[in-house]
Chains A and B, each alone.
Chain A
Amino acid sequence: MNKKALSGIVAVVLGFGVGIIFSMILGIKMDGGLTTYMPQDVLAPMLKSFTGYDITGAEAYNLRYVGEFIVASIPLILTGLSVGFAFKTGLFNIGAEGQLMMGSLAATLCGLYLDLPPIIHPLVCIIAAGIAGFLFGVIPGYLKARFNVHEVVTCIMLNYVGMYFANMIYRSLPGFSSEKTEPLKETALLKSDFLSSITNGSHLNWSILIVVVSLFAYWFIINKTTFGYQLKAIGNNKHAANYSGMKVNRGIIMSMGISGLFAGLAGAALVLGVFGYGRTLTGFEEYGYTGIAVALVGANSALGILFAGGLFSILAVAQPLLQVAGVPRDIAVIISALIIFFCAIPLLYDKYINKYLEKRQHKKAKKQNGGEV
């Protein structure tokens, strides 16, 4: 296990630990006796949320929870890939939220107004969503490359532009009512009776294929292509990359574009797989911000992002279960936030990780030399 993976795990453990301590302190109530939320009150719903197994025995085993857990992890893995891809080039894509909404918008429009046979229709919608996300990601990339405007500021602004722009278009469509567009054509949807039936009626759908392809593409581009190597070189040292003849500006623009593409695909997965209609939003759904957490915990590797996406999916789907169990759902938000916070301050625990790794290496060397160093 390498150092980056260990840091991620330490941040997760610290996030859960401190979060549960928070819930015990802030949850103190004076109703008759002195009560508060105990660790098992928080952890039992979380276990149930992704395994379907109820440790308290109140509900029989239910595979539907597993299905919903996978569905919820789809957009988070995709926004994680989005943020991670930009990180590889030394860029901070905090705009996945807006890129996702533009992807949703494009998928919705294609799903409403195109007449295509099944299989081709969703493919066209997905490609349109990818292009929309790509273009919305290119904007901060271009402004960074051409005008040296910091991509973080542009991305934050574009998140709001994306939300209000998508709302504006949805509202102008015929048949728009109560914050929804008309339902998309059946041919465009990724919903699956088969996948739903094997998971006891969950929302599981074919958009998992988007994730599988995206994970592979991410791994392939970053690790196996010259283009990916160039992007990493630009991320490590812009000037060195420039002197060795790489096109830095083009790399920055393409990196932000592809980053936006992944986020756009997340939008398509939500519209085609889960909702089946376009929706206006009054605030962010935190997919983009959670994507930052996913990329950080997953140390920007495809495999890491897959696992981290699952982790943050647990923290999302556990929320209604927590509420039912009598624990405010927001404890999951607190834990997510703390995990990001601890990811931001590796200096706090890096020295212990280094010590541990040194010790382990020492032991290994000892073993290899037959007990002598």
Chain B
Amino acid sequence: MDSIITIIASTFMYATPIIVAAIGGLFSERSGVTNIALEGIMLIGAFVAAVLCYFLGQMNINSAFFNDSMIPWISALAGGIAGLIFSILHAIASIKYKADQIISGTALNMLALGLTVFVSQVMFQSQRTPAFNNGFKGINIGFLNDIPILGNLLIQTYSPFIFSLVLVVVTWFIVKKTRFGLRLRACGEYPQAAASMGINVYKTRYIAVIISGLLGGIAGGFMMLTVDQEFSASVIHGFGFIAIATLIFGKWNAWGVLFAGLFFGFSNVIATTSGSIAIFKDIPNDFFFMLPYILTILALVITSGKSSGPKAVGEIYDEEKR
């Protein structure tokens, strides 16, 4: 029983950054801009979160307004803001300068790698940041933790998981039920038609890409402050791309993203722990690392007939086109 609870809690831990980043990707892609820079945005978010978490922990501030449990949240939010600023580059390149969004995203992924490690070397004379001790902790709400099994699960689950659940509901509401959501989807389906109805396609896309930068940065911060103890260049190791896979697997839909994210989180847990689980012992763990990617390709093939993704995603917006 205990090991099952641990597996579920670790699934939540890995699923959280995947879901948050994929929701970021959802906003961007729904507006028609592919954002494969998510990997780099997460890396920037993780770096800023790690550095801030380290320094806030060193400062030992304790007052009525500030205590140690706020440190990870402030750090992750700062990571989000850094991701937001970084994503503006992608927005300007792909919206104003009509760049190929894949090339711009590739460039930014590489830039994030260079920038974070460069600054780390200048600040700490090392390719890693020092370890921090104020990462996220398990959920601890007095009476709830007394419930037998659930309480045990809660104490092992990091609080950002709750954030990701709330985010899914909020995103579903915004995209499906609000005026902004309708405009967002229109810009990703048929931007010229949207423009003819008076929607400012450029503005909508800028907002969408910036939201994806914010969420991608927060996701990087969450991943940093739950999975790891110090920043290094390999801390995100492909989770930005898994987030894109999650978005596709979840059919560009908030609820789909939640379930796909939980599933990919689970397959990551199995991959890292398969040696210790009896039924998976004989299967190499590389197979489980490979699984999300193979499944995504299969999902793409199966759903290829139906158009589930935004129609104009990745296309350069040309006002003149009809």
Interface residues of A (CB under 8 A from B): 22-23, 26-27, 29, 92, 94, 143, 147-150, 152-154, 156-158, 160-161, 164-165, 167-168, 171-172, 282-283, 286, 289, 292, 296, 328, 330-338, 340-341, 343-345, 347-348
Contacts and interface: CB of A to CB of B under 8 A. Distances in A.
Interface in B54-91: 89
B117 A330 contact: yes
B110 A336 contact: yes
Given A143-B301, A147-B301, A94 B102 contact: yes
A-B pairs, top 8 by smallest CB distance, nearest first, are A333-B114, A337-B111, A334-B114, A328-B121, A337-B110, A340-B107, A341-B107, A168-B286
Contact of A152 (B102, B245, B294, B296): B102
A344 B80 CA distance: 25
B257 to A, nearest CB: 16
Interface in B99-138: 99-100, 102-104, 106-111, 113-115, 117-119, 121-122
Secondary structure type dominating chain B contacts: helix
B290 A164 contact: yes
Given A148-B304, A330-B121, A338 B97 contact: no
B167 to A, nearest CB: 24
Nearest to A342: B107
A76 B245 CA distance: 27
Contacts of A92: 100, 102
Q: How large is the interface on B (under 10, 10 to 19, 20 to 34, 35 or more residues)?
A: 35 or more
Contacts, number: 144
19 contacts: A22-B118, A92-B102, A152-B34, A157-B241, A160-B241, A161-B290, A164-B286, A165-B286, A282-B234, A283-B234, A296-B103, A328-B121, A332-B114, A333-B111, A333-B114, A333-B117, A340-B107, A345-B97, A345-B104
Nearest to A26: B119
Nearest to B97: A345
Nearest to B307: A148
A171 B286 contact: yes
Contact of A164 (B102, B121, B289): B289
B135 to A, nearest CB: 22
Contacts of B301: 143, 147, 149
Contacts of B103: 292, 296, 340, 343-344
